[in-house]
Structure 1
């Protein structure tokens, strides 16, 4: 239970209920992504250094799946961490360095919404250091990105991409309709009163 309370501190409130059980697939792509996420949890694949990369457009369920896996891992007693990619470059050098050091030792790490963060040379080097350490230490990492496979490869760079592809399953959620479009009506119900 203590791990779940830790999750509540590191997750934005909107992610607290995004479990694998609450994920509603609506096409073959999201069905397959959910199935693979379940297998990743069942096998505790992060313990062997296996990673996941969810790629796809906005609102396709990438963050929901990553959060669901992290919640399950925390329930199993694993030491987990969640970070948005943009927060990896916010703060003073010592704050960023401290965050990277803490993330290195987590059993499972989620880096959400990875896109152009590596344009900064220092950030690029630190992300490489973090992912390389986790790779060498055989710790799983889940990355979500709205980039396509080619753009993702180019953005993370050859060194990071090579390490990721050795141990990561890349799951593409292409052609999937945005969940946000579907949920908009429920949030705007107040306008019909």
Structure 2
């Protein structure tokens, strides 16, 4: 059977020619690198050495690539940690401001207000300006709030989503015997994030203890200058009564905004 002739590349011919020029008794010869010019090639156990500058450049490129890969890994880990701590419910995890579809002029105005709040979060964070989303069920209040949370997370901040019931429960659990966490520490965990979203405010008539805990959270964030987004199905007056005048005033102070969502429910439209 006939074999195909061996193909010799230009580089291979150059190496062969170079080898032929190198006497066996020599341990160093001058070679020419197409990029860096003349260099001294040394006879090593593995063969003649290549251009030192090329080797250094290759090593530097490999080091830079490894560092870039590691930095990307660190960013991914940090993002996953922030996203995990955000505790956004699975049902709403994909909600973004860009995917919110307003169905009326009022909803479009609400989207503009919330988007402006998110886009200027650095100033919002500095002022500690809060946002109240209240009104009918099914109008997309949670969608808008979670959309803001994603903007904060993407900017490198920490946002946390919780219902009032879960927030109060996390504090009350510290009362149990043997729990190493104190009530103050549980409240501090909710005061610390750059943005806290409190959902289902006023869903049930809470006890005095629950309302006191809620005030401690809102007041703690107010004193620390950290923004809070409150989501409630209550009308404004009823929400103020539920929270109490002091807590409600703290949410409105420092440029706090109120967005009333009183248009037709999205879920009602889909059902129809």
Query: TM-score, with normalisation over the residues of structure 2?
Result: 0.63
State which of 223, 233, 243 in structure 2 corresponds to 1:156.
243
Taking the aligned partners of 1:99 and 1:71, their CA distance within structure 2 comes to 24
Taking the aligned partners of 1:112 and 1:39, their CA distance within structure 2 comes to 21
* Structure number with higher relative contact order (C-alpha < 8 Å, ≥ 6 residues apart): 1
SS of residue matched to 1:90: helix
Per the TM alignment, residue 125 of structure 1 is displaced from its structure 2 partner at its CA by 1.3
Whether the 8 Å CA contact 1:117–1:123 is kept in 2: the answer is no
Matches within 5 A, 1:1-193: 1=76, 2-3=78-79, 6-8=82-84, 10-44=87-121, 45-90=124-169, 92-94=172-174, 97=183, 98-116=185-203, 119-167=206-254, 168-174=256-262, 176-184=263-271
| Alignment: residue pair count | 184
Counterparts in 2 of 1:181 and 1:141: CA distance versus 1, 3 Å: same
Per the TM alignment, residue 124 of structure 1 is displaced from its structure 2 partner at its CA by 1.3
Structure 1 spans left out of the alignment, 5+ residues? 186-193
SS of residue matched to 2:98: coil
Structure 2 spans left out of the alignment, 5+ residues? 1-75, 175-180
Q: Counterpart of 2:12?
A: none
Whether the 8 Å CA contact 2:160–2:195 is kept in 1: the answer is yes
Structure 1 stretch 45-54 or stretch 56-65: which is displaced more? 45-54
Per the TM alignment, residue 162 of structure 1 is displaced from its structure 2 partner at its CA by 1.6
Counterparts in 2 of 1:58 and 1:96: CA distance versus 1, 3 Å: farther
Cα deviation code 1:19-74 (max 9, x no counterpart): 00110011111111110111111111133201100011100111000000001100
Larger Rg: 2
How large is the RMSD of aligned CA atoms in angstroms? Answer: 2.0
Query: TM-score, with normalisation over the residues of structure 1?
Result: 0.87
SS of residue matched to 1:130: helix
